[in-house]
């Protein structure tokens, strides 16, 4: 869970500057290529279960995140968290926080714009910090199902993200209990298309 500590440190830095941070979560990937859909599926969960608030913007950017720059500019975030599948040479399902300035050694498979360039542009246009949450895929072949290891990883990441991002959500929102119910599979009215079988 080293990625969790890195992200927590970034959030603490923003809080130490005397503000409740405005955070944008940008999910990138292709739902047609198995584990490459990790980022898109994560933001679908946020959106379908109303896990967002006045200070938390959640965007499904698909394979063309550059098309969402207008939304980011309008929201004016302090931090942009990009969630994406990344070939990092790790075991499938492993997660890392990646500094955009160091992504030369990683492969992000389905983007129309190089991710390093996108991060630089987002930072320039919004003045925000940008972090990439990379999830090591197991399979990126042409099919809709996630691999079991990545599916389990997404469950764990979802649980942690909602707890970490809670200050940016509406104050009355009980994130932890809702996510626990969701992960257990008995959340009332929950839609399950984010975990294809």
Domain edges within the chain: 2-15+22-184
* Residues contacting residue 137 through CB under 8 Å, at least 6 positions apart: 34, 35, 36, 38, 85, 86, 87, 92, 147, 150
Q: Is 99:6 a contact under the CB 8 Å cutoff?
A: no
pTM: 0.80
Written as tens digits, the pLDDT of the chain (197 aa) is 688 888 888 888 888 887 788 999 999 998 888 888 899 988 888 888 777 778 899 999 988 888 898 999 999 999 999 999 988 888 999 999 988 877 765 555 555 567 788 888 899 889 999 999 999 999 888 876 888 899 889 888 888 888 887 766 544 444 444 444 444 443 333 333 333 33
Among candidate residues 14, 98, 111, 100, the one with its CA nearest the CA of residue 66: 111
For the record, the structure tokens of 55 come out as 């200070």
What's the CATH code, domain 2-15+22-184?
Answer: 3.40.50.1450
């Amino acid at each position: 869970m080293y990625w969790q500590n890195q992200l927590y440190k970034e959030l603490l830095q923003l809080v130490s500057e005397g503000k409740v941070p405005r955070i944008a979560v940008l999910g990138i990937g292709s739902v047609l290529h198995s584990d490459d859909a990790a980022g898109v599926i994560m933001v679908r969960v946020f959106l379908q279960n109303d896990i967002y608030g006045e200070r938390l913007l959640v965007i499904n950017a698909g394979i063309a995140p550059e098309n969402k720059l207008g939304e980011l500019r309008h929201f004016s975030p302090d931090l942009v968290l990009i969630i994406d599948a990344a070939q990092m040479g790790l075991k499938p399902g492993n997660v890392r926080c990646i500094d955009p300035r160091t992504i030369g050694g990683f492969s992000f498979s389905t983007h129309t714009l190089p991710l390093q360039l996108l991060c630089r542009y987002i930072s320039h246009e919004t003045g925000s910090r940008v972090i990439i949450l990379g999830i090591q895929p197991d399979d990126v072949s042409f099919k809709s199902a996630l691999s079991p290891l990545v599916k389990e990883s997404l469950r764990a990441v979802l649980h942690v993200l909602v707890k970490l991002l809670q200050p940016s959500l509406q104050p009355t929102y009980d994130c932890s209990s809702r996510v626990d119910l969701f992960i257990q599979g008995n959340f009332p009215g929950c839609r399950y298309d984010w975990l294809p079988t």
